[in-house]
Amino acid sequence: MSGYDDSDHPVEPWGPHDWSHGAPHNSFSPIFMSMGIALFLFMMAQAWSFGTYTPGYIPGILLGLAIVGFGLFIFWRQDISFDGSYEPRSSGVPFKNIQIRKVAVWVFLMSEMMVFTSLFSTYMRYRLGIENCGDMYERLEASHELVSGATYTCFEPASHLIASSGWHLTPGAINTFALILSSFTIVQALRYAKMPDIDEEVRRRKVYRYLGSTWCLAVLFLTLKMVEWFIGFHIPEIGFLGISEQNIHPLVAEGYTINADAYTHHDYHDFIMNIQVSASLFYVTTGTHGAHVAGGIIGLSYMTYKAWRGGYTPTNAVSIEYFGLYWHFVDLVWVLVFPFFYLY
């Protein structure tokens, strides 16, 4: 079969790569990433089975993730020397002269739209098809059909807990602003990377700091999400501001879990609910978005490191734009997820 004709072209499957010759012809990254993903999914399936957790598989899960990480490491090891000398542009209509990789990112975002569309479809089907718990409670109360001790299957949106008070909404609100702000910082990073006549050291610092801020805001997002889901927070009394002491419980402490088949809420007296579907939808949809943020954090880590090394110049600044497109998309999805799952 065909090998490589030019002998002065070394094969570097582990990286680093000399981009003056074009894209890498060999890379160990794909096979390691595939191996890691397969191992990770296999170990996850072994560790959990219908809610039963079997300990002892965590090392296997971590090994799978580590192998994926190793594959990514090789991928980036080949990329870190990328300086923009090889960035082919489209030759044909309708994308003439636009970078090929930019077109690829847009096409990728189209497929991601289908991912979130499917999640929203599932949400719509269940939200509109299963009676809301509040409505069911009122209906049964009014007709005196409420059976004490019976469990009712109904749809309990997370907003009933989260949007119940200003303090409850605070993590979500901060998250929204954090993501929007991070979209701004990533554009600023791109702007400074592209800016033609500035000192290289100034450029390096600006790009590195803006990328780092984006990273910090993304980590803040995930941290606040964990606070909201698992940790909760305490509001101390601040008399002169009129703030009374409060304990904001996390969602799982309130009983809003995917296994909640005997859920109660203080608004509904003596009403036991099976809210497994509602909780599954909430956690999986917001969790999928969170997973996309996490993926962005991983990418940002690499980019921040590369920026710190001074790797972004006007010639290859467009790489930041590729990530920026993805990041704006993640932000946009949050702007849809937040009202639908947290407010409504």
Partner 1 sequence: MERRTAMTRSMVVLVFIAIAMVVSPAVNSLPTGIGGDNIQSQGCNCHNTLPSSNVIPSLAGLPEEYNVSTTYTLTISFSGGPAEGGVNSGGFNLWASDGDFSVVDATVQARSPTELTHTEAGNDYRSWTIEWTSPDHGRNVDFILHVNSVNGDGANTGGIDEWNRLDVTVAGSAGAGLEAADAFKVLGTLIMISLVLLTVTILYGFYRTNPDNFTWDYLAPWITGWLTSTDHKRIGTLYFVQGLFFLGVGGIMAMMIRVQLAGPDTGFISQDQYNQFFTLHGTTMIFLAAMPLIAGFANWIVPLQIGAPDLALPRINALSFWLQPFAALLIFTGVFSGEGADTGWTGYAPYVVSAGAHRGVTFWVAGQIMLVASSTLTGINFLTTIAVMRAKGMGWMQMPLFTWSILVANVMLFLSIPAFGIGLIQVFLDRTISTAFYDMAAGGDPLLWSHLFWYFGHPEVYVVIVPAFGVISEVIATSARRSIFGYRSMVYAMAGIGLLSFIVYGHHMFTSGMSPTLRFVTMLTTMLVAVPTGIKIFNWLKTMHGGSLVYRTHTLWALGFLVTFTLGGISGMYFPAIAMDLHLHETYFVVAHFHYVLVGGTVFGMFAAIYYWYPKMTGRMLDERLGTLHFLIGFISYNGIFWPMHRLGVVGMPRRTHTYFITTDDFTSLPEWAADWNLFISVSAFIFFFSNLILVANMLTSLVRGQKAPADPWGGWSFEWMVSSPPPTPSFDWNNLPELRDANEHIANEPTRMGAWFNRLMVPDQEEEASN
Q: Which of residues 19-78 bind partner 1 (CB under 8 A)?
A: 22-31, 33-35, 37-38, 41-42, 44-51, 54, 75, 78
Q: Which residue in the block uniquely carries the two structure tokens 């099976």?
A: 274
Choose between 13 and 310: whose C-beta lies nearer to partner 1. Answer: 13
Q: Least distance to partner 1 from the beta carbon of 274, Å?
A: 5
Is residue 114 part of the contact set for partner 1 (CB under 8 A)?
yes
Is residue 3 part of the contact set for partner 1 (CB under 8 A)?
yes
Q: Assess contact for 158 and 282: CB atoms under 8 A.
A: yes
Choose between 218 and 275: whose C-beta lies nearer to partner 1. Answer: 275
Give CB contacts under 8 A, 24+ apart, made by 277-283. 277/126, 277/130, 277/153, 277/155, 278/126, 278/130, 278/155, 278/156, 278/157, 278/158, 279/156, 279/158, 281/122, 281/123, 281/126, 281/127, 282/157, 282/158, 282/256, 282/341, 283/229, 283/258
Q: What burial class does residue 208 get, using C-beta atoms within 10 Å of its C-beta: 0-12 exposed, 13-18 middle, 19+ buried?
A: buried
Considering only the stretches 160-168, 205-213, 254-262, 295-303, report the one whose residues sit in contact with partner 1 under the rule CB under 8 A. Answer: 254-262
Residues numbered 182-211 forming contacts with partner 1, rule: CB under 8 A = 194
Which amino acid, 253?
A
Which of 119, 133, 178, 251 is in the footprint of partner 1 by CB under 8 A? 119
Q: Least distance to partner 1 from the beta carbon of 160, Å?
A: 17
Choose between 6 and 145: whose C-beta lies nearer to partner 1. Answer: 6
Is residue 302 part of the contact set for partner 1 (CB under 8 A)?
no
Residues numbered 140-179 forming contacts with partner 1, rule: CB under 8 A = 153-155
How many CA atoms, within 13 angstroms, populate the side-chain half-sphere of residue 78? 21
Strands 233-235, 246-248: pairing kind: antiparallel
Which of 177, 198, 259, 339 is in the footprint of partner 1 by CB under 8 A? 259
Q: At what angle do helices 276-308 and 100-129 cross, to 10 degrees?
A: 160
Choose between 169 and 275: whose C-beta lies nearer to partner 1. Answer: 275
User: Nearest 5°: CA angle at 312, between 311 and 315?
Assistant: 120
Which of 61, 65, 163, 258 is in the footprint of partner 1 by CB under 8 A? 258
Residues numbered 81-110 forming contacts with partner 1, rule: CB under 8 A = 88-104, 107-108, 110
Is residue 112 part of the contact set for partner 1 (CB under 8 A)?
yes
Q: Least distance to partner 1 from the beta carbon of 110, Å?
A: 7
Q: In whole angstroms, give the CA distance from residue 299 to residue 69.
A: 11
Beta bridge partners of 247: 234
Q: In whole angstroms, give the CA distance from residue 250 to residue 270.
A: 22
Choose between 47 and 174: whose C-beta lies nearer to partner 1. Answer: 47
Choose between 2 and 143: whose C-beta lies nearer to partner 1. Answer: 2
Choose between 173 and 328: whose C-beta lies nearer to partner 1. Answer: 328
